[in-house]
């Protein structure tokens, strides 16, 4: 099951033709199966490393990285040294992957829908989708190709679901959009933005409740995940690669930038913004209208911008009011 088309028989010469690579003393006819993140790459795949924040372990024989990071790898790896790594990652993603055409989608198997389902007449369920029992789909909603949806799922009106796996007992409110492209791009040498093709999915686990007019972007090379029994209020934006844990409560108008990680039993007040690549640990409470720009330790209660310990914030606030 795939949400996108993969171009096969990509060779090293295809990579060097479109990328700004310093070194090219390799067999240009070397073939790569896929372009994927390091932890899932096999020996026959091409992968990338763009930050020391992430593990340097991979099974891939060939890695594209920059001059500063290439020294972290042993001589048995084929290291492609890029002069503009983020840009080259974007270029390679578009070399390998593209959206399926209407004709390709039409050739997928007809959707499978379980028993006791209620589906409005003016909806679209594309081929390849698998849907469980007791499913409800409201007016003018769309389920994209190859989506998988569990039992007892209720989807409201004007909802769009693509590139998504949904568990059991999930509710999604009117107007919500799930699985669209994330806001991921890189600038080339002329400072022109190049969109990264996102191959990640959205995974919504059992018991999740999502309010109206929310947006959940699909991942770039990872998945965007919402954990079990998490409640998301209206008008919440969840960007690509965000991972939200189990039993969280997120109030309205919150925004999560790409690759933020939220633990279990986290409570977040309305209009809070969480920065990209931020880690919020378990049992954290964040007051409304906070701006989180640093990692938050387990059990902390924070507020303000930048969000700090609530007692420290209130103490400083009292000083300014005196």
Q: What is the pLDDT of residues 161-203, one digit of tens each?
A: 999 999 999 999 999 999 999 999 999 888 999 999 999 999 9
E strand segments, 112-189: 112-113, 118-119, 124-125, 130-131, 136-137, 142-143, 148-149, 154-155, 160-161, 164-166, 171-172, 177-178, 185-187
pLDDT surpasses 70 at 318: yes
Start-end of CATH 2.160.10.10 domains in the chain: 163-320
Residue range(s) of every CATH 3.40.1390.10 domain in the chain: 4-99
The question of whether 240 is a catalytic residue gets the answer: yes
What is the C-alpha separation between 53 and 77, in angstroms, rounded?
20
pLDDT band of residue 1 (cuts 50, 70, 90) is: low
Reported confidence tier of residue 71, pLDDT bands at 50, 70, 90: confident
Q: What is the pLDDT of residues 210-224, one digit of tens each?
A: 999 999 999 999 999
CATH of domain 4-99: 3.40.1390.10
What is the sign, positive or negative, of the torsion defined by CA atoms of 46, 49, 54, 58? positive
Separation in Å, CA 21 to CA 81, 89, 211: 6, 12, 46
CATH of 163-320, one of 3.90.1150.10, 3.40.50.2300, 2.160.10.10, 1.10.150.120: 2.160.10.10
The pLDDT tens digits for 119-130 are: 998 999 999 999
Whether residue 64 contacts residue 45, with contact meaning beta carbons closer than 8 Å, is answered with no
Q: Is the confidence at residue 24, as pLDDT, over 70?
A: no
- Catalytic: which of 5, 198, 240, 277? 240
Span 75-124, pLDDT tens digits: 788 999 999 999 999 999 999 999 999 999 999 999 999 999 999 989 99
Beta bridge partners of 292: 274
Is residue 255 within 8 A of residue 234, CB to CB? The reply is: no
pLDDT band at 252, cuts 50/70/90? very high
């Amino acid at each position: 099951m795939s949400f996108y088309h993969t171009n096969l028989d990509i060779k090293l010469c295809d990579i060097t033709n479109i990328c700004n690579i310093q070194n090219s003393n390799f067999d240009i006819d070397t073939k790569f199966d896929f372009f994927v993140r390091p932890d899932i790459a096999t020996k026959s795949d091409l992968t990338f490393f763009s930050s020391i924040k992430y593990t340097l372990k991979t099974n891939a024989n060939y890695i594209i990285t920059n001059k500063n990071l290439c020294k972290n790898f042993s001589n048995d790896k084929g290291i492609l040294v890029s002069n503009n790594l983020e840009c080259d990652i974007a270029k390679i993603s578009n070399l390998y992957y593209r959206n399926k055409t209407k004709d390709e989608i039409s050739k997928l198997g007809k959707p499978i829908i379980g028993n006791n389902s209620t589906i409005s007449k003016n909806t679209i369920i594309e081929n390849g989708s698998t849907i469980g029992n007791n499913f409800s789909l409201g007016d003018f909603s769309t389920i994209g190709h190859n989506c998988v949806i569990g039992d007892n799922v209720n989807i409201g009106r004007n909802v769009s679901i693509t590139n998504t796996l949904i568990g059991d007992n999930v509710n999604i409110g009117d107007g919500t959009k799930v699985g669209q492209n994330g806001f991921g791009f890189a600038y080339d040498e002329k400072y022109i933005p190049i969109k990264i093709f996102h191959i990640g999915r959205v995974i919504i686990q059992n018991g999740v409740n999502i309010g109206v007019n929310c947006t959940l972007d699909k991942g770039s090379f990872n998945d965007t995940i919402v954990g079990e029994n998490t409640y998301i209020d209206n008008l919440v934006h969840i960007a690509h690669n965000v991972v939200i844990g189990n039993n969280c409560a997120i109030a309205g108008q919150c925004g999560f930038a790409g690759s933020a990680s939220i633990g279990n039993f986290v409570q977040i007040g309305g209009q809070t913004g969480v920065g990209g690549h931020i880690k919020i640990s378990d049992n954290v409470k964040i007051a409304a209208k906070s701006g989180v720009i640093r990692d938050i330790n387990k059990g902390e209660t924070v507020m303000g911008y930048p969000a700090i310990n609530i007692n420290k914030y209130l103490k400083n606030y009292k000083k300014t009011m005196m």
